[in-house]
């Protein structure tokens, strides 16, 4: 029996004795699955899906006892929790099963790495930190494996790598970016747990091979800040298979890069900008980048949750990105986005997440079109654990097709053949051919364009004929919260006869107007030249108010230097813009140099500036 197991058993006995004596400094009798009325917050848990069961592991929880939170604000979760996903349920009444882990000697950990081997029905945990109540410092260098039994239960066991000396030499971390690709678990960077006197950045990229049972410390992909070695922390990673690269790619979203060897402070870090995404090949570890368009999430942003990838019938992918925090501004986010590939376009979810801002939560794709977010705290010191989560049991769900939040999980059954994109995303691909995207390199273009263009450009993927009131393919009522009023989502498809008739009429009108437009433009070009017209993301899905300077241009935001929206009597027609000889970058690219991004005041107040990760001259050097 290990020293930790003995210490843990003594701790449990001591807690029970203290409770029997009426001393409530520590209370082992508190439940890992409190009733709805007693539940306050859950945070830092790992979440995964194996078969028909959702597993929630580790983390911390706060709850009421006799009507109030007593003693420590939070307590470690000493069990693994499972939820049956083969049946529909509501967050307020979901059945949750508790699987003991202390008796197996498994430490309680928060913000752990979790690697899932779905084919084998197993998941592994490593890293994270031990809650302060249990000492704060891990005494184990182990990788633990949970083997599911197919019925919502399972058993923990310790994994022994064939090269255990490599594992013993590694520093376990928290806030690393982890994912699974090709039967290997990956974790990039992170920092040493807070029990150390200072937070130190860990430079390693570590892999765990499920088949060979070997641990490897990989030096790439590495980052640099001003020629200093650096690594990521607080980032989210996601493996995306397919396209024109057999090995697929691993995307990194959010987080910071921090210099190795120094303390992990915000002042020394630079955020990974969500406009310029970094990704790498999980086999060769070669690193690439690509600029995104659409409604780009505000940065800096760490400890958001990432779910997916959702695969469309045509072989493309969407990712769900939600919440997180801006440590410099001491704020947390309540917004969510969908990143769509291969277009690298962001769509903002129309309504903010019910329950308010949150970080330290975990997300996973469930069913065919849904995401479940587990736990999270709103920020504010002690208020993190004292404020009651408005979402029952901290279980918030999201429908990727209707782009709506809900507190009910719905089994789609045979009524849904597969994942269906939101209508607004489908329409974006119809109107934005991939050959017009400004790719970062020919290599990156070759990864995504050839195969994907057949699916997303020449043959747009069909919309799902769902009940648009609830977003439920079964057509039954479900619990929808903070339903958005989005004209894009509610508008119906246009009949074919209308399209054909409108097209013919439009051609005739354009022929008649072309001559007039040519004469009109000859005089207009003297007033509006190539140099004073700037396109602000032709690929934007949603118009963003730029303090009176932005206005629609054929459905796309545009800004004209030296003018305001009220100075423009009407938007230019598309053929007028093309006659101005705008470059491909200005018509199809991202925000040009000199046009700044403005964020809502509640996201970044005036006292906190937006620290850009890079300028146009350093973009290729830093990422």
Q: Each residue of 575-621: pLDDT tens digit?
A: 222 222 223 333 233 333 332 333 232 232 333 222 222 333 333 32
Q: Tens digit of pLDDT for each residue in 240-252?
A: 998 888 899 999 9
Q: What is the DSSP string of 537-600?
A: -TT-SS----TT--EEETTEEEEETT--GGG-SSPPPHHHHHHTT--HHHHHSSPPTT------
pLDDT at residue 139 tops 80: no
Q: Bridge-partner residues for 218, per DSSP?
A: 205
User: What is the pLDDT at residue 87?
Assistant: 97
Residue 503 lies in a domain: yes
pLDDT at residue 460 tops 80: no
CA angle 247, 251, 255 (to 5 degrees): 150
Residue 593 lies in a domain: no
- Residue in this structure with the two tokens 């920020």, named with its chain if needed: 379
User: What is the pLDDT at residue 544?
Assistant: 33
Residue 533 lies in a domain: no
pLDDT classification of 550: cutoffs 50, 70, 90: very low
Beta strand 293-294 with 345-348 is parallel
Is there a contact between 162 and 214 (Cβ–Cβ < 8 Å)? yes
Query: For 515-520, what is the mean pLDDT?
Result: 43
Q: Bridge-partner residues for 362, per DSSP?
A: 374
Domain that holds residue 513: 494-521
The C-alpha atoms of residue 471 and residue 566 are separated, in whole angstroms, by 38
Highest-pLDDT range among 172-176, 262-266, 273-277, 526-530: 273-277
For the chain, give the mean pLDDT. 72
pLDDT classification of 520: cutoffs 50, 70, 90: very low
Query: For 456-480, what is the mean pLDDT?
Result: 41
Q: Tens digit of pLDDT for each residue in 80-129?
A: 999 999 999 999 999 999 998 876 678 888 899 999 999 999 999 998 88
**For the ranges 245-249, 375-379, 518-522, which has the lowest average pLDDT?**
518-522
User: What is the pLDDT at residue 406?
Assistant: 97
pLDDT classification of 199: cutoffs 50, 70, 90: low
Residue 367 lies in a domain: no
pLDDT classification of 262: cutoffs 50, 70, 90: low
Q: Bridge-partner residues for 16, per DSSP?
A: none
pLDDT classification of 229: cutoffs 50, 70, 90: confident
Highest-pLDDT range among 302-311, 428-437, 452-461: 302-311
Query: For 526-543, what is the mean pLDDT?
Result: 32
The C-alpha atoms of residue 437 and residue 310 are separated, in whole angstroms, by 22
Helix (H, G, I), strand (E, B) or coil at 125: strand
pLDDT at residue 423 tops 80: yes
The C-alpha atoms of residue 133 and residue 131 are separated, in whole angstroms, by 5
The C-alpha atoms of residue 474 and residue 481 are separated, in whole angstroms, by 18
pLDDT over 90 for what percent of the chain? 45
Residue 507 lies in a domain: yes
Is there a contact between 357 and 333 (Cβ–Cβ < 8 Å)? yes
pLDDT at residue 371 tops 90: yes
Domains contained in the chain, number: 1
Residue 510 lies in a domain: yes
Q: What is the DSSP string of 508-531?
A: HHHHHHHHHHHHHHHHHTTTS-GG
Query: For 524-547, what is the mean pLDDT?
Result: 33
b/e for 245-263, b at 16 or more Cβ within 10 A? beebbbbbbbbbbbbbebe
pTM confidence score:
0.72
b/e for 445-478, b at 16 or more Cβ within 10 A? bebbbebbbebbbeebbebbebebebbbbbeeeb
Residue 499 lies in a domain: yes
The C-alpha atoms of residue 113 and residue 186 are separated, in whole angstroms, by 9
Residue 211 lies in a domain: no
556-560 β-sheet, strand order:
533-535, 556-560, 551-553
State the Cα torsion 86-91-92-95 to the nearest 10°: 30
User: What is the pLDDT at residue 590?
Assistant: 34
Q: Tens digit of pLDDT for each residue in 265-309?
A: 767 788 889 999 999 999 999 999 999 999 999 999 999 999 999
User: What is the pLDDT at residue 195?
Assistant: 52
Q: Tens digit of pLDDT for each residue in 11-70?
A: 443 333 333 333 333 344 678 999 999 999 999 999 999 999 999 999 999 999 888 876
**H or E segment to which residue 428 belongs:** helix 423-431
User: What is the pLDDT at residue 381?
Assistant: 73
């Amino acid at each position: 029996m290990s020293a930790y197991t003995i210490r843990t058993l003594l701790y449990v006995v001591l807690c029970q004795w203290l409770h029997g004596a009426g001393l409530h400094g520590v209370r082992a009798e508190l439940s890992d699955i409190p009733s709805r009325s007693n539940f306050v917050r859950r945070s830092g848990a790992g979440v995964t899906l194996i078969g028909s069961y959702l597993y929630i592991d580790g983390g911390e929880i706060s709850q009421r006892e006799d009507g109030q939170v007593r003693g420590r604000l939070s307590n470690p979760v000493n069990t693994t929790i499972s939820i049956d996903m083969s049946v529909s349920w509501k967050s307020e009444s979901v059945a949750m099963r508790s699987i003991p882990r202390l008796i197996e000697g498994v430490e309680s950990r928060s913000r752990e790495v979790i690697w899932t081997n779905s084919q084998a029905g197993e998941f592994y945990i490593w890293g994270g930190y031990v809650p302060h109540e249990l000492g704060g410092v891990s005494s184990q260098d182990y990788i633990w494996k949970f083997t599911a039994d197919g019925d919502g239960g399972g058993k923990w066991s310790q994994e022994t790598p064939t090269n255990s000396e490599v594992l013993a030499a590694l520093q376990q971390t928290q806030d690393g970016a982890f994912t699974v690709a090709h039967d290997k678990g990956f974790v990039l960077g992170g920092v040493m747990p807070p029990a150390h006197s200072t937070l130190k950045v860990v430079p390693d990229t570590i892999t765990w091979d499920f088949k060979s049972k070997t641990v490897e410390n990989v030096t790439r992909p590495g980052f640099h800040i001003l020629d200093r070695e650096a690594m990521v922390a607080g980032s989210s990673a996601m493996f995306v298979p397919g396209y024109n690269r057999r090995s697929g790619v691993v995307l990194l979203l959010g987080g910071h890069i921090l210099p190795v060897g120094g303390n992990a402070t915000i002042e020394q870090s630079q955020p990974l900008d969500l406009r310029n995404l970094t990704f790498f090949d999980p086999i060769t570890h070669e690193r690439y980048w690509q600029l995104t368009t659409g409604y780009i999430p505000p940065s800096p942003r760490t400890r958001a949750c990432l779910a997916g990838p959702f695969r469309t019938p045509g072989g493309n992918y969407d990712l769900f990105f939600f919440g997180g925090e801006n440590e410099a501004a001491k704020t947390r986010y309540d917004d969510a986005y969908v990143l769509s590939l291969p277009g690298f376009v962001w769509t903002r979810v129309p309504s903010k997440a019910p329950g308010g801002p949150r970080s330290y939560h975990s997300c996973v794709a469930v069913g065919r079109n849904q995401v479940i977010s587990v736990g999270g705290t709103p920020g504010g010191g002690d208020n993190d654990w004292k404020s009651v989560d408005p979402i029952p049991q901290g279980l918030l769900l999201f429908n990727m097709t209707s782009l709506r939040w809900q507190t009910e999980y719905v089994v789609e059954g045979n009524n849904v053949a597969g994942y269906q994109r939101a209508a607004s995303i489908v329409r974006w691909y119809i109107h934005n051919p991939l050959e017009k995207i400004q790719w970062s390199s020919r290599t990156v273009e070759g990864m995504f364009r050839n195969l994907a263009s057949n699916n997303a450009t020449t043959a747009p993927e069909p919309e799902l004929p769902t009940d648009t009131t609830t977003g439920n393919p079964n057509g039954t009522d479900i619990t929808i919260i903070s339903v958005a009023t989005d004209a894009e989502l509610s508008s119906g498809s246009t009949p074919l006869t209308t399209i054909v008739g409108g097209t013919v009429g439009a051609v005739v009108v354009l022929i008649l107007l072309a001559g007039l437009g040519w004469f009109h433009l000859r005089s207009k070009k003297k007033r509006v030249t190539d140099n004073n017209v700037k396109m602000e993301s032709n690929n934007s899905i949603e118009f963003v108010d730029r303090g009176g300077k932005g206005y629609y241009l054929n459905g796309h935001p545009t800004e004209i230097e030296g003018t305001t929206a009220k100075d423009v009597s009407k938007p230019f027609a598309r053929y007028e813009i093309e006659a101005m000889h705008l470059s491909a970058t200005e018509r199809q690219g991202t925000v040009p140099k000199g046009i700044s991004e403005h964020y809502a005041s509640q996201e970044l107040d005036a006292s906190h500036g937006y620290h850009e990760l890079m300028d146009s001259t350093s973009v290729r050097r830093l990422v």
